[in-house]
Amino acid sequence: MKPLSPPLAPRQPAEVAAPPSRGHGRRRLILAAIVLLGLLLACVLLLRPSRPRPRAFVRFALCQFDSRVGDVRWSFFHALDYAQEAADHGAEVIILPEFSFTSVHDLTHGRAFFNILQHPGYASRLRDFTRKNQCFLLFNHPYRPADSPDSTGRFFNTSFLMNPQGQVVTNYCKRILAIMDKQLGMARGTQSVIAELPFARLGLMICKDSRNPAKFSRYRDADLVVIQFSHITRWGQTPLHDWEISDTHTNGLDRTETVTNTFAEITEECVAALQKPILLVNKTGLEDEFAYIGDSCIVLPGGTAIATAGSGGEILYADFPLGPDGRIDPTRPPSIPFPYANDR
């Protein structure tokens, strides 16, 4: 006989939950509102355009390269290759040497005398370059302006500063002509020029201008002084002259000058007269009877060279610190981000 199962316990009536108090419901509403406001604030912060951080420095690049005799087109694009290399390494101001896009040999034979800013191919390439890379480009080429102050309509040895919008904002005509300029029939410029950039004022010189810095005393109001050279070590017999000379400063010499000057002496004189950092860029390579020395350099007001190039193709970089106003801080020296030699 199966045992009887124990009797079931009597079912207890279900407890009825007490209705929530008004205070409890208010707290839940407040909590939900806080969460919702937090989500909205997070969305606003995420969607708000971020403020650009103030720049700590501006990078300058000095491009030292060669040109090819008899091929202006090759020389032009070769120069732009170096400029592009500098832009790819973060340079915002790219400085090319004197006669940036041509050999002296081609100038002596009249193949490179044209207004580069009116050339249908080269002018557009230069504008496209600065727009694409959002940089300033300082280049040099013989130029004959339409409203030339020279009554003979001669060309000037001219440097141009092109801005990131592809516009030429400043040009400077060489004031103190070397023998080569005179033999080529160049006209003499009359005004020194300080180029205005958003972050700096640049005093502009070309080659032999640097031999008389007293004529450029207004550059004491600049932040930096730029000197563009096409400085050679050797001249042979050419259509320009029938004499030979070999030294380290020929391109700036008159026949009566000595041949003992060097870039060290040039920068020392400019620093002493102007008390500003000097950015000196020169060409390199061989052009028939011409041999360029290179030796581009960056020199501080105290006379210390913080970067010096060799005799080959090379790019020098310098980062100049910016102050709270976004302009170069003259109390802080520039730094060299990395040495970068480009032997091609």
In contact, 92 and 58? CB cutoff 8 Å: yes
**For residue 207, which of 244, 246, 239, 181 has the smallest C-alpha distance?**
181
pLDDT over 90 percentage in the chain:
50
Q: Is the pLDDT of residue 183 over 50?
A: yes
In contact, 181 and 211? CB cutoff 8 Å: no
pLDDT over 70 percentage in the chain:
76
Q: Given the DSSP bridges, would you call strands 284-287 and 278-281 parallel, antiparallel or unpaired?
A: unpaired
pLDDT, one tens digit per residue, over 319-339 is: 999 999 999 999 999 999 976
For the beta carbon of residue 124, count every other beta carbon within 10 angstroms. 11
pLDDT given for residue 42 in this prediction: 79
Q: Is the pLDDT of residue 256 over 50?
A: no
- R_g of the chain, CA atoms, integer Å: 33
In contact, 96 and 63? CB cutoff 8 Å: yes
How high does pLDDT run on average in the chain? Answer: 81
Q: Which residue has the higher pLDDT, 176 or 31?
A: 176
Token representation of residue 101? 């896009």
Confidence of residue 19 (pLDDT cuts 50, 70, 90): low
pLDDT, one tens digit per residue, over 73-117 is: 999 999 999 999 999 999 999 999 999 998 877 787 766 677 788
Extents of the domains making up the chain: 59-341
Q: Which fold has domain 59-341?
A: Nitrilase/N-carbamoyl-D-aminoacid amidohydrolase (3.60.110)
DSSP state of 156: E
- Name the residue type at position 95: I
Give the whole-angstrom CA distance, residue 265 versus residue 269.
6
Q: Which residue has the higher pLDDT, 216 or 119?
A: 216
In contact, 207 and 254? CB cutoff 8 Å: no
pLDDT, one tens digit per residue, over 291-320 is: 888 889 999 998 889 999 988 899 999 999
For the beta carbon of residue 321, count every other beta carbon within 10 angstroms. 16
pLDDT given for residue 50 in this prediction: 58
**For residue 84, which of 117, 138, 128, 133 has the smallest C-alpha distance?**
133
Token representation of residue 5? 């199962």
Enter the pTM of the model.
0.77
Confidence of residue 221 (pLDDT cuts 50, 70, 90): very high
Give the whole-angstrom CA distance, residue 14 versus residue 288.
110
Q: Phi and psi dihedrals of 196, rounded to 5?
A: -95, 115
pLDDT, one tens digit per residue, over 144-169 is: 876 555 445 688 999 999 999 999 99
In whole angstroms, how far apart are CA 60 and each of 22, 103, 167, 190? 70, 25, 19, 27
